[in-house]
Structure 1
Amino acid sequence: MRRKLAVIAAVTMVLSGCATVKQAMEGVQPVQTVKNLQFKLTSVSNFRLSGISLSSMSSYSDLRLGDVARVASDFATERMPVQFTLNTDVRNPNTSSSGFSLVLRDLRWRLVIDTSFAVSGNVTGPLRVPEGGTSVNVPVPMELDLMKTFRGHSLKGLVNLAMAIGGVNGSASRLRLFVQPSVDGPFGAIRYPGEIEVVDKEFR
């Protein structure tokens, strides 16, 4: 009789333990997934061709006589230097309630104009990107030689290309920025394993 009671007590304890484990498991919240940062090209600013600001020009015919002489001189020596800032928005799509604020440590990048590689570089942080989808601007400074990227193009062709990007009606539509961020988050620092292609039409 005592042996039967002991067996019943043991079974009761096991069943009770299983119920406790089940209740504990039901109380555990699922682990939230940390969403990656998203990027978008927004604008081109401070565009200079051979040291000439293009912000008020739209085509080759807008160049003054002295400007034409300067770009022609550079073209004759197989140079066509440009400098500009590519303004890039970055946002953290994690919800405000998640508490997943992310810090951009650095941003490796390479620029493609049309289908041609132009230049590469790295933007260093840190830059805090708060959760909730608010965009933070990352200005990416660019300096390159259009002649090296587009050999065989005419002087007017190169100037009009520059105008299409950095002129008064210019845009980032002909640019693609491939980025590979390094980010500090709730689970430590990570380098994204692959590149993200950033365009001006949408966040990616």
Structure 2
Amino acid sequence: MDATRLVAAVSRRDLPLQATVNLSATNPSDNPVTARMVGLDWRLFLDDNETIAGNFNDPQDLPPGVPVGIPIGVELNLVQFFERSAQDLFELAAALSGQGGAPKNVSLKARPTVNTPIGPIQYPNEITIVSRQVGG
């Protein structure tokens, strides 16, 4: 997105972000059975502010030691979820679109639910899947 379109989108308060986060889940190779992940509650943070959350409910079989790709669709309007100045919003949008801007932190945290012989069990704590800087 060029700077003119970016400014116009911000002025319309319509700055959609659509992304697919491709996760890789691996059941430890020393686990003798295939694990079945039946849910994944996730939260996306932009510059340490939670912007959107969701859940993934497409059951996935995880054979021991074999990485399994899991695509998570993420959609949000940055203007609706961003509570900082217009300059910060512009810089974040530029950083996420690869157009430079000040560095921003992006992180994804999740809490999986796995099926067990006694029923579904949700992990007791969130897992940080990714945490990195974009832009700059």
Residue 118 of structure 1 aligns to a residue whose secondary structure is strand
Partner of 1:38: none
Aligned AA (1:117) = E
Partner of 1:196: 127
Residue 20 of structure 2 aligns to a residue whose secondary structure is strand
Q: Contact (CA 8 Å) 1:100, 1:185: kept in 2 or not?
A: no
Unaligned runs of 5+ residues in structure 1 are: 1-51, 53-62
Partner of 1:185: 116
Matched, 1:73 2:31: no
Report the CA distance between 1:77 and its aligned residue. Answer: 2.4
Note the 1:114-193 alignment, pairs <5 A: 114-132=47-65, 134-147=66-79, 148-154=81-87, 156-164=90-98, 174-193=105-124
Query: Hey, which of these two has a bigger chunk of helix by percent?
Result: 1
Query: Hey, which of these two has a bigger chunk of strand by percent?
Result: 2
Partner of 1:102: 35
Unaligned runs of 5+ residues in structure 2 are: none
- Name the CA shift for 1:158/1:81 in 2 (closer, same or farther; >3 Å): same
Residue 97 of structure 2 aligns to a residue whose secondary structure is helix
Runs of 4+ in 1 over 4 A off after TM superposition: none
TM-score w.r.t. structure 2 length? 0.78
Larger radius of gyration between Structure 1 and Structure 2: 1
Q: What's the % identity of the aligned pairs?
A: 28
Report the CA distance between 1:106 and its aligned residue. Answer: 1.0
Q: How many residues in Structure 1 have an aligned counterpart in Structure 2? A: 127
Aligned AA (2:82) = T
Report the CA distance between 1:159 and its aligned residue. Answer: 3.2
Aligned AA (1:158) = L
